[in-house]
Structure 1
Amino acid sequence: MKIYIDIQGNTISGTLKSDSDAAKSFAALLPLQLKLSDYAATEKVADLPKPLSTQNEPAGTAAKVGDITYYAPWGNLAIFHKSFGYANGLVALGTLDSGIELMRKPGELDVTIRLAD
């Protein structure tokens, strides 16, 4: 599943996992307007309007640069611009195909995430 993230006049793309209940649950929320904020100098995060399904998902995962994830304990989206070790409750949704440099910009980012046409 291809997605687009519109950020300050730029559009970057990503790919959601097709075999993931959590990714399908996320896709069902799109389009979404979110305010991504910095967290731990490693990721951009935003609260989601409702919890995602984590049925059939692993208990946790490690994140790599460009990973689009869901942190189930807090109910937030997390897009990683630096790699991060294993975390319980972290669920992989997909990856960015481009634009990681935009996620590294300091401060909040107003974004719209939508499914590709």
Structure 2
Amino acid sequence: MNIRLTINGHQVDATLNDSAAARDFATLLPLSLDLEDFHRTERIAYLARKLDTSGAPEAAEPQAGDLAYYAPWGNLALFYRDGDSPSTGLVILGHVADRDAERLATADHVAIEALS
């Protein structure tokens, strides 16, 4: 599924994968979230409810541009730097276009919508 993020007034296209968690995330769209920095690697925001992570791998190693869900805390994570190791409970939901991953580093707010 194709989605659009609006970050600091700039539109960034992304694609969700076909996982149960990504499909469940899509049911929450459109979203408007305030973001905070986490470990100078990702921007995070808490979702209104937990996502379905059935069938998800036990851990994932994020790359810059990944949209992910951290199941233990129930937060969305937008990675602007590669992770340094696999993270237990992290579920990759999708990826932003590579040319736009750098915009995630300065994002204080994001609006996310599904594209038809």
TM-score (norm 2): 0.94
CA deviation vs aligned residue, 1:54-106 (integer Å, no higher than 9, x gap):
0011111110111110000000000111111101000010101142121122x
Structure (1/2) with the larger strand percentage: 1
Identity percentage of aligned residues: 39
Is contact 2:7–2:104 with CA below 8 Å preserved after alignment?
no
Unpaired runs of 5+ residues, structure 1, are none
Structure (1/2) with the larger helix percentage: 2
Give the match for residue 101 of structure 1: 102
Give the match for residue 63 of structure 2: 64
Say whether residues 1:28 and 2:27 are aligned partners. Answer: yes
Give the match for residue 54 of structure 2: 55
CA deviation vs aligned residue, 1:6-39 (integer Å, no higher than 9, x gap):
1222100100002x00000000100001011110
**2:67 alignment partner, SS class:** strand
1:94 corresponds to which letter in structure 2? Answer: G
1:109 corresponds to which letter in structure 2? Answer: D
Distance in 1 (CA, whole Å) between partners of 2:9 and 2:78 is 19
How well do the aligned residues superpose, as a CA RMSD in angstroms? 1.0
TM-score (norm 1): 0.93
Number of positions where the alignment pairs a residue of Structure 1 with one of Structure 2: 114
Distance in 1 (CA, whole Å) between partners of 2:79 and 2:109 is 16
Unpaired runs of 5+ residues, structure 2, are none
Give the match for residue 9 of structure 1: 9
